Structure 1
Amino acid sequence: MTLTVGDVAPEFSLPDQDKQVVSLSGLRGAPVLVVFYPFAFSGICTGELCQLRDELVTYTDAGVQVVAISTDPTFSLKAFRAEQGFGFPLLSDFWPHGTTAQAYGVFNERAGMPLRGTFLVDAAGTLVFAEVNQPGDARAQSGWKDAVAQLSAAA
């Protein structure tokens, strides 16, 4: 299943790095940037999430909440977040393995990991930006920023 702009974003309820459950419906009322990444501590993923960390004010100033999702267990996510100082939750799609990534159409069955999927969900729960990059294909974050700027200008 491939999601496109205009689709309703699939609901999820996943534990964060501190085992606190975060749901998309619980974030409703504000836009949410949902960033799927393959693995904590891997080179490209660390670089992408560190850039997101360093530019987080771009999103928070626009009222956008950021969540990052992988199939790593919560223990790994807690260590990864502490090491890198991420100011956004890291959510675990560990079990049932990859269910949320599957719902968003970004689960790589053979590797057991999500692809690099990025989705901007508006305050009502509709996708206003969707992009999927293959393993090893780092994302250009300019597309996300442009979508956030457009959403912010329309508000």
Structure 2
Amino acid sequence: MTLSVGDAAPDFTLPDSDRQPFTLSEQRGTPVLVVFYPFAFSSICTGELCQLRDELDTYTGAGVQVVAVSTDPAPTLKAWKEQQGFEFRLLSDFWPHGEVAKAYGTFFETAGMANRGTFLVDAEGTVAFTEVNGPGDARAQSGWKDAVAALAV
């Protein structure tokens, strides 16, 4: 089941690349862009997250916190974050494997990974934007930017 605009965003706590916990509900009062992706170090994921890195001011300048989620273990995320210079948190949905991706309707059971799902959670914890793409189907980030701009209106 994929989430729809207007749904309450499922709460979660996941470790980041430094094994520090991130809890969505603790971010209330701040919108959060939650970006699910299949795997660190893969070509499409690297391209998408590097674009996000390069355009991060678009989100943070609008008061939106950005987190990216995969089923990779935290040490893998740490190495990738350092290699690419990501300034947003990479969260590990490694164990229980893919549970948060499942809650957001983005888990690809056959491959044991998250699909490309993007969710803008508003300051009250409600889904304000959602997009889910299959593996190999890169996302255009223009829709994310439009959703962030709409929050400011």
Distance in 2 separating the partners of 1:77 and 1:28 = 25
Q: Which residue of 2 aligns with 1:2?
A: 2
Residue 72 of structure 1: CA displacement?
Answer: 0.1
Distance in 1 separating the partners of 2:81 and 2:91 = 11
Q: Does residue 12 of structure 2 align to residue 16 of structure 1?
A: no
Return the TM-score normalized by structure 1.
0.98
CA RMSD across the alignment: 0.4
Residue 17 of structure 1: CA displacement?
Answer: 0.2
Return the TM-score normalized by structure 2.
0.99
Distance in 2 separating the partners of 1:15 and 1:2 = 23
Counting aligned pairs with the same residue, the percent is 73
Q: Which residue of 1 aligns with 2:86?
A: 86
Q: Which residue of 1 aligns with 2:122?
A: 122
Matches within 5 A, 1:74-153: 74-153=74-153
Deviating above 4 A after TM superposition, structure 1's stretches of 4 or more consecutive aligned residues are none
- Classify the secondary structure of the residue corresponding to 1:67: strand
- Classify the secondary structure of the residue corresponding to 2:17: coil
Per-residue CA deviation, residues 18-75 of structure 1 (Å, 9 max, x unaligned), is 0000010111110000000000000000000000000000000100000000000000
- Classify the secondary structure of the residue corresponding to 2:131: strand
Residue 85 of structure 1: CA displacement?
Answer: 0.4
Q: Which residue of 1 aligns with 2:41?
A: 41
Aligned length: 153
Distance in 2 separating the partners of 1:27 and 1:36 = 18
Unpaired segments of 5 or more residues in structure 1? none
Distance in 1 separating the partners of 2:3 and 2:132 = 10
Distance in 1 separating the partners of 2:146 and 2:78 = 30
Residue 78 of structure 1: CA displacement?
Answer: 0.2
- Classify the secondary structure of the residue corresponding to 1:130: strand
Distance in 1 separating the partners of 2:53 and 2:42 = 16
